[in-house]
Every structure is written in structure tokens, then in C-alpha cells.
């Protein structure tokens, strides 16, 4: 790992230049580098005040990481949105005016996970460990990209609805409370809810939106209308009081107003 301060490197969007030690003296070298991705997500970030440059090696690639100081925009007023994370539906958001939005395609994600798993199994039969490793890395890149897109869509929706607080389930408990079956177990333990939540958190911070975590206990079982707990047997939640709604939307509704957690205990 090598580090340079912001006065010792420069870049355009095709290359990066920084000094290296050669033959007993410092020489500034220019290296070809893709400074933006295909969606140009880095363009706005790199327009802010730059910090240190960090160069690391990952496999056969050299990675340049630039820290960026981004001013946040504080929001006035309190408007809350609950977000429920899951497998069949990657994310459901419900605002305090009961506007509901679904994000991601759980069915497609499940298909792709099965496809990657089948490819690895076939490569294992052929005893190709390097190919298996490459397939694993490809799957991780795909999952990370999905989380980036879902988190961006969630934060964009929050901005559109002028939300000041996003509430999520406390991740320490999500695996115990996630609705699972034997066939979903592999997907649950390979998908990173923590990564998706962290992407939501840092993107929300850039927009001046606070992220809080709540106790997920009974969020999918409690009726948002009368607070009675019901066993949920399918994707539609029904209650004797007459309330009916999508199972995951019910979770997001309850997350909005569940006790906010500070570490492992409710906040005052």
C-alpha cells in the first residue's frame, strides 16, 4: 500500500500521475486509469475537495483510491421513511404519508444466484479452482452493483419525497428475523444486507438524510392499524381488524415508528 497527499498527484479521466522513487530520485509517472465507471458515478464526487491517494494491489490489478471531502446538506423538518430489506423483495420503502415503493427484482436475483452456483459446481467437477475463484469474483461484483443501484434508487426516492430520516432494521438481528425457508438459506447467508445498508447510509448522508436503526422484532407480524400480532402465511398480510397489505410493506410501515436502537438498546 502506498499513500500520497493531495498535493502530490494529479489526474484527468483517463490517467493519474504521482511521484515514484526510481534510481535514488523522485520521478513523476503517468499511469493509465479509468477514473469513472460506465454510469459516471464518480464524476460529481471528484469535483469536491480531494484527500489522499491510496494505491493497492488486488490480484493482478492496481487500484487507486482517492478520499473525497463532501459537504452534507442538512434537511429541515422531520419526515420519516421505513425500509424493509429482504430476499424475495430486495427493499420496500414506506413514507410517513404511506407512499409505498418496491426496489429491485428478487426473482431475477435468485435466478442469477442459482446460475452462478451451478457454474461453480460444474467447474468443481472439472477441477478448475482458478475458474471457480473468477466466477466467485464475478458474482461478488454483480451483487455489489445491484446493491449500488438499489441504494441509489432508495435515496433518490427519499429526496423526491423530502424525507429527512430513513429507518432500517438493526443488522445484528436481521439474519435471525429474516423470513427464510431451506431453499432460501443459501441466498440469505451469501447476500450482504450489511453492504446494502451501508450503501444506503453513505448515499443518504451525501443528501443530508439521517439513517437510524430500529429493533426488527415483530415488524412483519404486527398490524400497522391495530398493533395486534398475526402469523403471516403468504405474501399478503391480513388482520381481523380489516387491514390488508403486502407482507414486506407491513414490515416497512412498522419500521418507520419502531424504537430507534443505539447499539443494542433503545434510544431515549
How many helices and strands, by DSSP H and E, does the chain display?
Answer: 6, 15
Q: Give the model's pLDDT for residue 42.
A: 63
Q: Give the model's pLDDT for residue 268.
A: 34
C-alpha pair distances (Å), 20 with each of 56, 87, 100: 14, 47, 53
Q: Give the model's pLDDT for residue 7.
A: 85
Taking the C-alpha atoms of residue 60 and residue 63, their distance in angstroms, rounded to an integer, is 10
Q: pLDDT digit string (tens) for 3-44?
A: 888 888 888 777 888 888 888 888 888 888 876 655 555 666
Of residues 59, 12, 49, 54, the one with CA closest to residue 34:
12
Percent helix, strand, coil in the chain, to 5, is 35, 30, 35
Sign of CA dihedral 86, 91, 92, 93: positive
Q: Give the model's pLDDT for residue 24.
A: 83
Q: Give the model's pLDDT for residue 215.
A: 87
Q: Give the model's pLDDT for residue 37.
A: 59
Q: Give the model's pLDDT for residue 10.
A: 86
The ranges of the chain with pLDDT < 50 are 173, 175-190, 264-268
Q: Give the model's pLDDT for residue 265.
A: 42
Q: Where do the domains of the chain lie, and which CATH numbers do they carry?
A: 2-69 (no CATH), 80-266 (3.30.420)
Q: Give the model's pLDDT for residue 176.
A: 46
Amino acid at each position: 500500500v502506498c499513500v500520497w497527499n493531495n498535493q502530490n498527484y494529479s489526474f484527468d479521466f483517463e490517467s493519474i500521475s504521482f511521484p515514484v522513487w526510481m534510481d535514488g530520485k523522485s520521478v513523476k509517472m503517468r499511469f493509465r486509469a479509468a477514473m469513472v465507471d460506465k454510469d459516471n458515478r464518480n464524476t460529481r464526487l471528484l469535483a469536491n475537495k480531494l484527500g489522499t491517494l491510496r494505491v493497492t494491489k488486488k490480484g493482478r490489478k492496481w487500484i487507486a483510491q482517492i478520499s473525497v471531502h463532501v459537504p452534507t446538506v442538512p434537511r429541515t423538518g422531520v419526515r420519516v421513511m421505513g425500509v424493509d430489506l429482504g430476499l424475495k423483495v430486495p427493499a420496500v420503502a414506506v413514507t410517513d404519508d404511506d407512499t409505498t415503493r418496491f426496489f429491485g427484482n428478487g426473482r431475477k436475483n435468485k435466478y442469477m444466484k442459482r446460475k452462478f452456483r451451478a457454474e461453480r459446481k460444474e467447474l468443481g467437477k472439472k477441477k478448475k479452482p482458478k475458474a471457480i475463484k473468477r466466477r466467485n469474483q464475478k458474482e461478488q461484483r454483480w451483487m455489489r452493483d445491484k446493491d449500488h443501484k438499489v441504494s441509489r434508487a432508495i435515496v433518490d426516492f427519499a429526496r423526491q419525497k423530502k424525507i429527512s430520516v430513513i429507518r432500517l432494521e438493526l443488522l445484528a438481528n436481521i439474519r435471525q428475523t429474516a423470513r427464510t425457508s431451506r431453499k432460501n438459506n443459501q441466498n440469505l447467508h451469501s447476500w450482504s444486507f450489511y453492504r446494502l445498508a451501508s450503501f444506503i447510509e453513505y448515499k443518504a448522508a451525501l443528501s443530508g438524510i439521517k439513517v437510524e436503526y430500529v429493533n426488527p422484532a415483530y415488524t412483519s407480524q404486527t398490524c400497522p392499524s391495530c398493533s395486534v400480532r398475526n402469523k403471516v402465511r403468504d405474501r399478503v398480510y391480513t388482520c381481523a381488524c380489516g387491514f390488508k397489505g403486502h407482507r414486506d410493506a407491513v414490515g416497512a410501515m412498522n419500521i418507520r415508528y419502531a424504537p430507534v436502537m443505539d447499539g443494542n438498546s433503545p434510544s431515549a
